[in-house]
Structure 1
């Protein structure tokens, strides 16, 4: 998978998890996942 595709996939995943956070899903779990996704996104973007 090309980096640009992976970046878009991660951005979509972040949006999905933010939505779950807003709907009241366990905030600690969501925050941990968002932290990991954002770190992966930063790594891919350089």
Structure 2
């Protein structure tokens, strides 16, 4: 049950990360890219 809840909570964050990665050329700012990288690494390590 907890895994289900975690995937339910993470899904919106994963969608945001995917959208940022798809549109990374629209976000040339290095801070945004770094934030996206941190978000991806945190999702992977959870």
Structure 2: distance between partners of 1:32 and 1:6: 22
* Gapped regions of structure 1 (runs ≥ 5): none
Matched, 1:5 2:8: yes
Q: Distance in 2 between matches of 1:39 and 1:27?
A: 19
Q: Alignment partner for residue 25 of structure 2, among 22, 30, 35? A: 22
Distance 1:20 1:29, change over 3 A: farther
Q: If the length of structure 2 is used for normalisation, what is the TM-score?
A: 0.58
Of the two structures, which has the highest relative contact order with CA contacts closer than 8 Å and spacing of 6 or more? 1
- Partners of 1:10 and 1:41 in 2: CA distance: 8
> RMSD of the alignment, in Å?
1.8
